[in-house]
Structure 1
Amino acid sequence: MTQSVRWAVLGAGKFAREHMGPAIHAAHGAELVALGTSSLEKAAPFAAFAPNLRVHETYDAVLSDADVDVVYVPLPNHLHIEWAQKALNAGKHVLVEKPVGLKAAQIEPLIALRDESGLQCSEAFMIAHHPQWTRVREMIAEGAIGELRHVDGFFTYNNPDLSNVRFDAAKGGGSLPDIGVYTIGSTRLATGREPLEITFADIDYLNGVDICARVSARFEGFSAHWVTAMNVHNSQSMTFYGTLGRIHVTAPFNPGKYGEARIELTQSDGAARVERWPEVAQYKTQVEAFCASVRGGAAFAWTLEDARATQAVIDAVYAAATSR
């Protein structure tokens, strides 16, 4: 029997508690063995589903735990690079939450350290491990909608809590770091192309962070328009328009929680097809894919280079907005 890949989590925040912690526990070939938190109260929900969990009071103690193979880093955005580097230097594989860095250039040293160490280090871009996005990419590549001409991406939610870390500029807050990685990253994932130019960027700021961003970009052969916001009703969709049809992804980023994972393909000859994935748990499939990459060197669907490329687009968006 193959030994399970042993995981640790740095921090006991809500996302790790409600999503990635349970996903690690449920994933085939993975075991959640350690948690870094000084609060036994915060550790209790993790211990409830992982009864053999070792709780370390410091993150450094987690990195010193010889019985940990992989460290998952879901800390505030400005801490991602620092602790991913520390984990690699401690000999651990690393799955780090998005955005990896707050500037594309910050990711370069992490890529170099990954290569030098021979360890796996990737961004936790979970949608890359959901079959609906594999199908979107296949449909576009196969010409199901003819030549791609335009992409529309929309991801918003309304968070009135100004004390939330997403409103803290010093900690990497803002709608683009939080959810722009999805609209921009999914466009890159589906098309395999990079934008040539940011043609328009209009950003509303509050407390020094972008609370709403309206962005247009030009790719080779098609255009894209993305809207992200932290002060708009919870909505998400991605639509790909071609010369012969349209692909509409109804719950592109949080399937299950937001709605059913579904692709609606409409073609100009009147044909329409719907594909559904009601049972796929994308955080679990992400963990299993990472375990496979650690155990046997299997290719991981989203690399640090992908994270750097998406961040480069976000950097360009900020620059374009500043120059208006």
Structure 2
Amino acid sequence: MAEPHKIRFGILGCANIARKVSRAILLSNNSTIAAVGSRSLEKATTFAAENGFPKSTKLYGSYEAVIDDDDVDAVYIPLPTSLHLKWATISANRKKHVLIEKPVALNTAELDKILEACESNGVQYMDSTMWMHHPRTMKMNEFLSDLDRFGEIKSIHSVFTYKGDSEFLKNDIRVQPDLDSLGVLGDAGWYCIRAILWSMNYDLPKKVTAIPDPEFNEAGVLLSCSASLTWGDGRSATFYCSFLANHAMDIRVLGSKGDLRVHDFVIPFEEKGASFYTVSGSNWSNLSLGWEPMPSECIVETDLPQEALMAREFSKLVSDIKFEGSKPEMKWVNISRKTQLVIDAVKTSLESGFAAIEL
């Protein structure tokens, strides 16, 4: 069997998350790193050396040089959210395929400009929501789609929290109003909202309402918040995201006949295996001394971490466009835009005294 074409990535910037994704690109069998650029050549050189980049990787002291390199097929953009619009549209207009960190934009209007540039130039777009590519996600979806075991969906609760130390809360990009003004809503909240939409088969809610008592830093950036989503037919969801609470990455999906629980949906406890729990037909045991049946644990193993599977999927789509004449896959465009729409609605509700925002 012929070796797959290797898609050549250029990396814009040396953010900490780029260390993880660059490793993923090199673990995938259909991608490699062709170039990395930073605001200084010295930083790009150090980053490449520390992360084991191929010796052939070109090192640049600017983002423009990466985008202008003819040996780069696609760019990975881990820059602060406030820079995504500029560099994603420049990349797309130079015919580079775009893999972009979340939150993908500060609002839907900005995202639409990015998506328009990608569509008009025929390049593939994907956001870097890694858990979507883990094989566990497909297995969980099989359970949620089983009308006999799970039934009809009723409610979802999603949580993503982690406790930032004093340095993080003071200086991290995610708490700077000029870099990532969405704060925790754009960072951890993105994952919670994506989990809810995924559970609902991407059916947008009718109303989104922020819940009172969010927490902000002195610069007015969100450090914790929560919201409720309703569909107008009895289905509902809530989420909580925070930089101020202990690590938690949970999804709980309740159906009319069963329920699903996962405790590490964003980043699995272990790289090569991930689990979730399901139960159907729950009831009290004799004398109400316990429950029966007990939840069942399903363990899903993988040879590659979820971020490498993401890189492989993105690279396959790019390869199909480049070598097979395929059109860009629009699934990722639609999912990103729906996630951003809900982000916008939560933000609007927060700013309007916790009013219900209709979508």
TM range (shorter): over 0.9
How far apart are 1:298 and its partner, in Å? 8.3
Structure 1 Cα separation of the partners of residues 271 and 308 of structure 2: 17
Q: Who is 1:42 aligned against? A: 47
Matched-pair contact (CA < 8 Å) for 2:272–2:301 = no
Unaligned stretches of 5+ in structure 1?
A: none
| Aligned counterparts, 1:45-124, within 5 A | 45-46=50-51, 48-124=52-128
What RMSD, in angstroms, separates the aligned Cα atoms of the two structures?
Answer: 2.0
Structure 1 Cα separation of the partners of residues 347 and 96 of structure 2: 34
> Higher Cα Rg: structure 1 or 2?
2
Unaligned stretches of 5+ in structure 2?
A: 283-292, 321-325, 354-359
Q: Who is 2:208 aligned against? A: 198
Q: Who is 2:285 aligned against? A: none
Q: Structure 2 residue aligned with 1:218, among 209, 213, 230?
A: 230
Q: Who is 1:247 aligned against? A: 260
Q: For residues 258 and 102 of structure 1, do their structure 2 counterparts lie closer, same or farther at Cα, with a shift above 3 Å needed?
A: farther
- SS where residue 158 of structure 1 aligns? coil
Structure 2 Cα separation of the partners of residues 302 and 181 of structure 1: 17
Deviation per CA, 1:40-62: give whole Å up to 9, x if none: 3233213x242321111111000
Report which stretch shifted further, 294-303 or 129-138. Answer: 294-303
- SS where residue 9 of structure 1 aligns? strand
- SS where residue 170 of structure 1 aligns? coil
Q: Structure 2 residue aligned with 1:289, among 268, 293, 313?
A: 313
1:171 aligns with 2:155: no
Q: Who is 2:333 aligned against? A: 304
Matched-pair contact (CA < 8 Å) for 1:244–1:267 = yes
Report which stretch shifted further, 262-271 or 69-78. Answer: 262-271
Structure 1 Cα separation of the partners of residues 260 and 155 of structure 2: 11
Q: For residues 312 and 166 of structure 1, do their structure 2 counterparts lie closer, same or farther at Cα, with a shift above 3 Å needed?
A: same
- SS where residue 21 of structure 1 aligns? helix
- SS where residue 160 of structure 2 aligns? strand
Structure 2 Cα separation of the partners of residues 147 and 153 of structure 1: 18
Structure 2 Cα separation of the partners of residues 233 and 223 of structure 1: 25
How far apart are 1:300 and its partner, in Å? 5.1
Deviation per CA, 1:44-83: give whole Å up to 9, x if none: 213x242321111111000111111111001111111211
How far apart are 1:172 and its partner, in Å? 1.6
Structure 1 Cα separation of the partners of residues 140 and 328 of structure 2: 20
Structure 1 Cα separation of the partners of residues 276 and 299 of structure 2: 7
